[in-house]
A and B are shown apart, each in its own frame.
Chain A
């Protein structure tokens, strides 16, 4: 019972509007990732939910109850900060214990059990007696996660918790987070600018830009049907290809042809646009050595190795360039001529206002 509802929440810092009248609901027991580039207002939004920042306008409700006027401690939440915040000069165990002592109806046995269980999950048991000042940032961040989680609040906020830790701790932390967040039916808000992190952790991703929520949806949904060019570009590594394409008339119907398609492809649902932008993800572009149905010839300009051993090709198709992600083979070398196919089911069309069009391509 810890649904978070925001009602026209707004924050201004002088002339700068950090958060623009955001209205949304985080359902109980879900993991929500606030994803967006740096400075888009995601941390400010989270801090307002925590009560660390006073909104300029709008309200915050927890489980239907207005909490906008309450202090952070009255809101009874957990929070993990971007930089590991630990209580220095005491042991890891004590760090986790201190907030627990304040829970009045928690027996010492239960307290001990909770601490030990969270130490176990985060692989901290071996550090339990050590002073936190002694530990590296990754381990310290684990301690602050443990501290937030052990209290078992109904709402936990994570503000880019793995940004400032080394790679090894990062993976470990993410794994532990996945394990922890599902245990107590807590509502989680997780701020990040890393889409991979958002993809792996979130039930729902909220894409943010310039203080506004641009798109909300399951990771898959955001990946497959971005609502606008920003969503398509920000989500994906590298982002979507955007290729302008004039709309032509053939036998009384609108079609799209060069440069991506060999024959004109019929498009339905257009409302008279003279030109559209074709969006296709690099991993959806098919690169073949032989010509096939509806392929266009292309030249490989560059090739690079990317994560997972895959190859990222930069292709010259007609006058434009196109990025394509292909499995690692030796056949694609810079300078080679190849044949490119853009499967119509993976093509998304955008209008001149950068919004996605309710239009579809047909083979």
Chain B
């Protein structure tokens, strides 16, 4: 019996429990009617996500864009339209340019080191399928990645601590050199970058393993049978298959590294001097210490645009390859 044909009047003759069942069925039928519709169903499923996306993402971004054209202080609250003045002041601010170039060095060096280490270790794990304890080693290796940056920051501050930290103890006993990494202008940047590398190299190992896993086994076996040397296998078989996942990993790491705040904030807060002052730290200071929200909004917009630029470059390269392949097929 079709559920839609149950008219409300037919329910009157029936006993109460059945009536309830019928109305329940009818409601169910109405819903299932909606969920069967190929146009309505996806929208229904997307609605909650769309709601949160709009409330937490779209509206704040639009608000921020608006705010970036005003002078607005959390302390004073005196709104004043400035036009593009905030942007102009950012462009001419030497502190911004310094922090930005420091951030680029941070991203470039960090991502490069993490990628190289990740590739090496990834290949190592890939090539040692039968190694005993491989699983345990991998699990341990991935631990830094799942820790919160705050915990890592505190942990390494203790290690770097000059009076009772193990780093200073080791360098004094082994090398006879006293170090205070986080307060030494010469090595603070490197010391923090080292922690970032410790944290994020596992991610690149994971990406490398995933990328290598996407190389068809049969092609590798064929290359082995065909006696193709290792470097050529890398170039002709592994690279063409693995490059997309690898590049995706590098992109994610680049964007993430560009936004680094918590780790550095906890370890040095930009010091000593401003040797570890990354752009995100500068932004945080302007927004939550100087309460200059207009200026900070403009800065945030510029950073967002930079991140979008990174992504676009990646997508462009990816599409270029796809287009080339489509041209062939």
Contact = CB atoms under 8 A, between A and B. Distances in A.
Partners in one complex: yes
Interface string A137-149: 0000000100110
A260 to B, nearest CB: 50
Contact of B226 (A88, A90, A99, A134): A99
B236 interface: yes
A99 B218 contact: no
Nearest to A147: B226
B227 interface: yes
A109 to B, nearest CB: 21
Contact of A71 (B219, B224, B228, B240): B224
Contact of B218 (A85, A98, A131, A147): A85
Contacts of A81: 218, 221-222
A73 B218 contact: no
A76 B227 contact: yes
A85 B219 contact: yes
Contacts of A98: 226, 228, 232, 236
Interface string A54-87: 0000000000000000011100111101010101
Interface in B233-262: 236-237, 240
Nearest to A84: B218
Contact of B224 (A72, A90, A134): A72
Nearest to A131: B328
A189 to B, nearest CB: 13
Nearest to A88: B240
B218 A90 contact: no
A89 interface: yes
B222 A79 contact: yes
Majority secondary structure, B binding face = helix
Contact of B221 (A72, A76, A87, A99): A72
Contacts of A90: 236
Given A76-B227, A79-B225, A87-B237, A133 B325 contact: yes
Contact of A99 (B216, B228, B325, B329): B228
Nearest to A90: B236
A79 B325 CA distance: 28
Given A98-B232, A98-B236, A78 B225 contact: yes
B329 A134 contact: yes
Which among A71, A99, A131, A151 has the greatest number of chain B C-beta atoms within 10 A? A99
A103 to B, nearest CB: 8
B328 A133 contact: yes
Nearest to B221: A52
A133 B219 contact: no
Contacts of A52: 221, 224-225
B236 A87 contact: yes
A50 interface: yes
A102 interface: yes
A3 B329 CA distance: 43
Interface string B198-241: 00000000000000000010110111111111001000110010
Contacts of B221: 52, 72, 79, 81, 85
B227 A102 contact: yes
A73 B221 CA distance: 10
B126 to A, nearest CB: 17
Nearest to B241: A88
Interface in B307-329: 325, 328-329
Which among B226, B228, B240, B328 has the greatest number of chain A C-beta atoms within 10 A? B226
A151 B228 CA distance: 12
Which among B222, B223, B240 has the greatest number of chain A C-beta atoms within 10 A? B222
Which among B221, B225, B240 has the greatest number of chain A C-beta atoms within 10 A? B225
Contact of A87 (B219, B325, B329): B219
Which among A73, A85, A148 has the greatest number of chain B C-beta atoms within 10 A? A85
Contact of A72 (B225, B229, B232, B236): B225
Interface in A320-359: none
B246 to A, nearest CB: 16
Given A76-B227, A99-B228, A134 B328 contact: yes
Contact of B222 (A71, A76, A85, A89): A85
A102 B233 CA distance: 12
A79 B220 CA distance: 13
Interface in A2-43: none
A133 B226 contact: no
A89 B240 contact: yes
A100 to B, nearest CB: 9
B329 A73 contact: no
B236 A73 contact: no
B188 to A, nearest CB: 46
Contacts of B325: 133
A349 B216 CA distance: 49
A77 B225 contact: yes
Contacts of A144: 222
A77 B236 CA distance: 21
Contacts of B240: 88-89
A135 to B, nearest CB: 10
A79 B227 CA distance: 11
A52 to B, nearest CB: 6
Contacts of B227: 73, 76, 99, 102
Contact of A151 (B226, B232, B236, B328): B226
Interface string A97-121: 0110010000000000000000000
A102 B60 CA distance: 61
A148 B18 CA distance: 74
List the 7 closest pairs (A to B, CB-CB), nearest first.
A99-B226, A85-B222, A73-B227, A72-B224, A79-B225, A85-B218, A131-B328
22 contacts: A52-B221, A52-B224, A71-B224, A72-B225, A77-B225, A79-B221, A79-B222, A81-B218, A85-B222, A87-B219, A87-B222, A89-B240, A98-B226, A98-B232, A99-B227, A99-B228, A102-B226, A102-B228, A133-B328, A133-B329, A134-B328, A134-B329
Given A72-B224, A99-B227, A102-B229, 13 more contacts: A72-B225, A73-B227, A76-B227, A77-B225, A79-B221, A79-B225, A81-B218, A81-B221, A85-B222, A87-B222, A98-B226, A102-B226, A133-B329
